[in-house]
Structures are given as C-alpha cells and as structure tokens.
Amino acid sequence: MSAPALSLADARALLLSPLGPVARAGRDASRPRVSFEFFPPKSDEAEAGLWKAVSRLAPLKPDFVSVTYGAGGSTRERTHRTVARILAETDLKPAAHLTCVEATRAEIDAVLLDYKAAGVRHIVALRGDPPGATGIGGAYVPRADGHANATELTAAIARIGGFEITVGAYPEKHPESPSIDHDIDVLKAKVDAGATRAITQFFFDIDAFLRFRDRVRTAGIGIPLIPGIMPVTNFAGLKRMSATCGASVPDWLQAHFDGLDGDPETRKLLAASVAAETCARLQEEGFQDFHFYTLNRADLVYAICRVLGVREARA
C-alpha cells in the first residue's frame, strides 16, 4: 500500500533539490519491496535463459516471483513445472498465475488443490486471454461449466482457502471495458471476492497511473496497488502489445527509440533509464512496492533495483 502523501514542507524541499528523482531514489531508509514476473520456457535454450535470470535476481530477496499462464491455458503444464522447480531449488516464494480460459470449475479446483499440496500459497487470478489465433485482444467467451471472469475465479480460490490472491488492474482502462469507473467497480468486486493485492498492467503515463490510484482510493479500495513496470528494449513489440492491452505509448517514448532498430545496446540504456525514472518518481509518491515484468531477462531489472536501493545482502 502506498505511504502517506508528502507534507507541504517535504514537497517544497523536493522541488528545490538540485537532484532528480533517480539521484534521490534509494536514500530513504525503508527498502522497497520488489517482485518479478517470469514466463515458462518453450525450449532448452529458453529454460537456461530463465534460470540464469532467476539466479541473478534471487539474491535481491523479492517479496515473491510470479509465473505466467499462456492464452487458453496453453502453458499450463510448463507453468506448473516452473513453479515446482522454483519451490524445490530456491528460497523464492512463487505465485502461480491461473486463468479461467478453457478450464471447468472442477479443473480449476483440482489445480488449486495440487498447488496447495505442493506448497504454493499465492495465486495470481486473471480472466485470461482467449485461445486460438485471436489470442490477446480477441473475443472472450466463457465456458458454461467454467468461471465467467476473474471475480468468479477469485471467489473460487478464496473458497479453497489458504492463498494470497493477486488480481490485475488497468490504470488506462481494460481494452474491453466501457470506462475507468467500470474497471474500478470490477476491481472492488474482486476485492470483495477475496483479492488481497492488485498489480497493474504496465504503463508509461505516470500521471494517468496516479489519477487511477486516487480514484481507486476514493472508491474505498484499500488493498495494495502495485505498479507493474516493464523495461522495454523492443519498441516495435511494445507498440503491438500496447495496442492489445490498453497501455498508451507517449510520443516522447517513441522519439527516444526512433532510428535505433539496429542499435540494441542504446535501446537497453534507454529502457533502463525510463523504467528507473518511473520507479523513482513513484517512490516519491509513496510507493514502496514494484512488480517487474522481466521478460525472463535480469540485467535491466537488476540495475533498476539498485537505483531503488534494493541490493544483495553483504556477506
């Protein structure tokens, strides 16, 4: 949950400071809480890359790490194997993604009981993307014998019991939603069903995110609202992804990446800079929790965590 707003004196001191948000970040005595998202690998080479990233980030002692679930449950078994390996080989606390898509209510209950027996105590409950060629952004049609949405899925997880339940939130509106107000009503319903925290879709418009935070709190929703941060080096891929998930791409961000298609090193530097500035600004707004969409790479996320004061414990 975000900290109290700055006092007038503190705000004035920040405005008069010769340092920017990145330079000031990490100076607070309180260490931010971070979490990392990974996706299950599809090949031996990808699996090696995933575990290299896990090994690099694990010493930062994240609050938890989440493992995604593909459209239509397409990665169900690989998600389970990845979560099981994290439990068996690391001290990390895994959070398993779970969706409604292409699963009956009985199948969902069976998955939850399997996770519970394996020692998983945290589920990320999402409606999920439709299967098939449409994928993200396609029309979602619930099964008659399944859960219709993430609110019903959250309630089912709560009935099983014994799990923390994380749900999604959309600072710039879910692409299928008629309005931000509707999104906030849906978030409130998920909280009433048992959600214990919300992680947002990635975003680049910080002011839009802060306006969303204010409206969420005004609506009486008090669970932690954790900003989702994605350091992006592939701008073309970002534009495709943003078009389907409702995240805007500001003109200034496009200008940063213009002409750099053949320059991956500069793109990485820009991606780290933008994400670090975003986190540093949010830290000054009172946020002490950050969730990183790692894309199974550690270098940029590791560097940003250092900016925020999240570092490995000294021997």
Question: Which positions are catalytic?
Answer: 37
Which residues are within 8 A (CB) of 307 and not within 5 positions of it... i.e. 6 or more apart?
A: 22, 25, 26, 276, 279, 280
- Structural tokens at position 271: 């991606």
d(CA 32, CA 167): 20
Q: Angle at the Cα of 169 (from 167 to 171), degrees rounded to 5?
A: 165
Neighbouring CB atoms inside 10 A of 259's CB total: 8
Q: Which residue has the tokens 């073309």?
A: 236
Asked whether 12 and 269 are in contact (CB, 8 A), the reply is no
Alpha helices per DSSP H over 150-298 = 150-160, 180-193, 206-218, 235-245, 251-257, 264-284
Give the C-alpha distances (Å, rounded to integers) separating 256 from 14, 35, 204, 235, 242: 26, 27, 13, 10, 17
167: alpha, beta or left? (left if phi > 0; alpha if psi -120 to 50): beta
* Nearest CA among 211, 233, 230 for reference residue 36: 230
Q: Are 239 and 249 in contact (CB under 8 A)?
A: yes
